[in-house]
């Protein structure tokens, strides 16, 4: 989860740099150091608060957003869309890469019985990697400002509607918390492709899983 979160934010900053905005780079946010992407409230306090107030039923949080200045993009609309979707695309790529890695680790584990336990544990981590990254991609595509999906959805709307739509961002966090707390049926429908893809990936790697209590699906 930590690696995927950092990769997501790094992708935003790197894409912004390629589109002509060096804000993230200048402020030291174009880094793989997780400490730079931790927000005291969003990453620590909010998840703990929700965990204890809901009895562990709901945990929600996020990383510190990478600062960007869209006015620096070579092409405003194109740059905004690319930078916004860069994090989502990165999470999808990581999820895809986990599949061949699970297969490779499984083959190594069968060839070298001495590392079977380590191989099984690594496979379990990679299986969670598939689910976590698909989940992060789907969640960030929810068209609620300031999530990444909203930066694409606003261009579909008429200009006047888009302006009012972006103003929702001031209450975006509250809307998301309400959605997570009371919008179970809506979220289940939204995340259905994630579960379908995860089952498909699990079926693909299942023949290569090293039997172990830590390995999901065994």
- Active-site residues, by number, are 9
- Please calculate the CA angle 14-65-73 and round it to the nearest 5 degrees: 45
Go through 88-118 and write b for each residue having 16 or more CB atoms within 10 A of its CB, e for each that does not: bebbbebbeebbebbbebbeebeeeeeebee
Residue 157 contacts by C-beta under 8 Å, 6 or more apart in sequence? Answer: 165
Question: Using an 8 Å Cβ cutoff, are 58 and 181 in contact?
Answer: yes
Count of CB atoms within 10 A of residue 38's CB?
15
- Inter-residue long-range contacts of 26-32, CB under 8 Å, 24+ positions, other chains counted: 27/67, 29/66, 29/67, 30/66, 32/6
Helix segments in the chain, DSSP class H: 2-18, 23-26, 46-53, 76-111, 116-140, 148-153, 159-167, 172-182, 184-190, 192-205
Radius of gyration (C-alpha) of the chain in whole angstroms: 19
Q: How is residue 117 written in tokens?
A: 């336990």
């Amino acid at each position: 989860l930590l690696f995927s979160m950092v990769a997501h934010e790094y992708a935003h900053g790197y894409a912004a740099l390629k589109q002509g905005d060096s804000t993230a780079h200048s402020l030291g946010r174009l880094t793989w150091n997780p400490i730079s992407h931790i927000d005291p409230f969003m990453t620590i306090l909010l998840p703990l608060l929700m965990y204890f107030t809901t009895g562990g039923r709901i945990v929600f949080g996020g990383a510190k957003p990478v600062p960007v200045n869209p006015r620096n993009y070579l092409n405003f609309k194109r740059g905004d869309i690319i930078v916004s979707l860069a994090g989502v695309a990165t999470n999808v790529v990581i999820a895809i890469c986990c599949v061949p890695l699970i297969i490779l680790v499984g083959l190594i584990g069968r060839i070298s019985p001495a590392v079977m336990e380590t191989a099984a544990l690594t496979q379990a981590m990679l299986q969670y990697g598939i689910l976590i990254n698909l989940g992060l991609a789907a969640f960030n595509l929810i068209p609620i400002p300031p999530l990444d999906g909203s930066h694409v959805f606003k261009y579909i709307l008429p200009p006047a509607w888009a302006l009012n739509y972006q103003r929702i961002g001031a209450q975006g966090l509250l809307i998301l918390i309400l959605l997570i707390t009371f919008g179970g049926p809506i979220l289940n429908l939204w995340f259905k492709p994630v579960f379908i893809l995860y089952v498909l990936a699990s079926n693909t790697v299942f023949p290569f899983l090293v039997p172990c209590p830590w390995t999901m699906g065994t």
